[in-house]
Amino acid sequence: MSELNNIALEILQNGKGILAADESTGTMTKRLESVNVSSTPENRLLFRETLFSSSCMTGCIGGVILYDETIKQKTSKKNKIPELISEMGAAPGIKVDTGAKVLAGSPDEKITEGLDGLRERLKEYFKLGAKFTKWRGVYNITKNFPSKLAIQSNAHALARYSSLVQECNMVPIVEPEVLMDGEHSANECYEKTSEVIKKCFEELILHKVDLTGIILKPNMILAGNKSKDKISNEDVAKLTLKCLKNSVPSEVPGIAFLSGGQTEIEATENLNLINKHNDTNFIMSYSYGRALQQSALKFWSKDIKDIEGTQKIFNHRAKMNTLAAQGKWSKDLEI
């Protein structure tokens, strides 16, 4: 077993998942302003530190994806954020892409940038304590998209990124997200997601990436949010498993789903059903942002000094998802 494989397995073992707390300053500002909290560096840190020091970090959260601002901050007790996360028993990680920009040659689509200077930035993040990294490619579904150009370009970028990350002894999270926005059916999502993931692995293999030392972060197979063709949670689970079985090489140790616009309960219920039907050797867990944080954020916004109350809500959500990652969740357990 390689060291990278060990890190990947540690992050996702025993139903543990990943807290995606890597919102850019712009995104975090929108989230805080939506609950009437001023987006200062101090408030952004206070909310994140509240989550990172919650008791569920030890049993439920195996890794935390940070943003550049956060990995360099210090806690209220003056220790470094990566140290706090490590002390709680989770691995610190870092988002390393610089965002999705307009794709030249297909202006309605996006390409994720950030390869320039990445090797140097990775060395810095490794020194700061990062054990893993994240890079997100985004694809939208319409009659003409995603185009071959978008699928190829983003797969190539994800592979180059992964290769550089492993060179620096960290685990790359490979996140090709086929967006939920649109009128597409679940079957169209299945077809396009399968195509996107297969192309990613073609490129990863071409770039000699060690597949035992990555974590895949895909979307679930869902109908578009404006689609008239809604499907059951059971069908979401079955189609998602079918897609991954046909697209992901068996060497990959774990898959951590993104929540991608699902509500907290939907994201938990779908993960639970995926694990009830999981007949693969892949660990199937979660890497959620809003679906772990939203209720805690709403509660916290009413009184940002009520750390204990906020942590109670976050602990519950993390526990529910960890049960779902083991196929042991039920609606009766929700508050």
Report pLDDT digits (tens) over 71-89. 999 999 999 999 999 999 9
pLDDT band at 319 (very low <50, low <70, confident <90, very high): very high
Q: State mean pLDDT over 21-40.
A: 95
Beta strand 61-66 pairing with 91-95: parallel
pLDDT, the chain, mean: 97
Q: State mean pLDDT over 263-292.
A: 97
Q: How many CB atoms lie within 10 A of CB 225?
A: 14
User: Active site includes 127?
Assistant: no
Total domains, the chain: 1
pLDDT band at 221 (very low <50, low <70, confident <90, very high): very high
Closest by CA position to 141, among listed 178, 99, 103, 104: 178
Give yes or no for residue 1 having a pLDDT over 80.
no
Question: In the structure, how many helices (H) and strands (E) does the chain have?
Answer: 13, 10
**What is d(CA 310, CA 313) in angstroms, rounded to the nearest whole number?**
5
Boundaries of domain holding 251? 3-333
Domain of residue 38, CATH code: 3.20.20.70
Q: φ, ψ for residue 19 (rounded to 5)?
A: -90, 115
Closest by CA position to 98, among listed 44, 130, 125, 136: 136
Of the listed 16, 95, 199, 217, which one is catalytic? 217
Q: Is 213 helix (H, G, I), strand (E, B) or coil?
A: helix
Give yes or no for residue 335 having a pLDDT over 80.
no
Give yes or no for residue 254 having a pLDDT over 70.
yes
Full-model pTM: 0.97
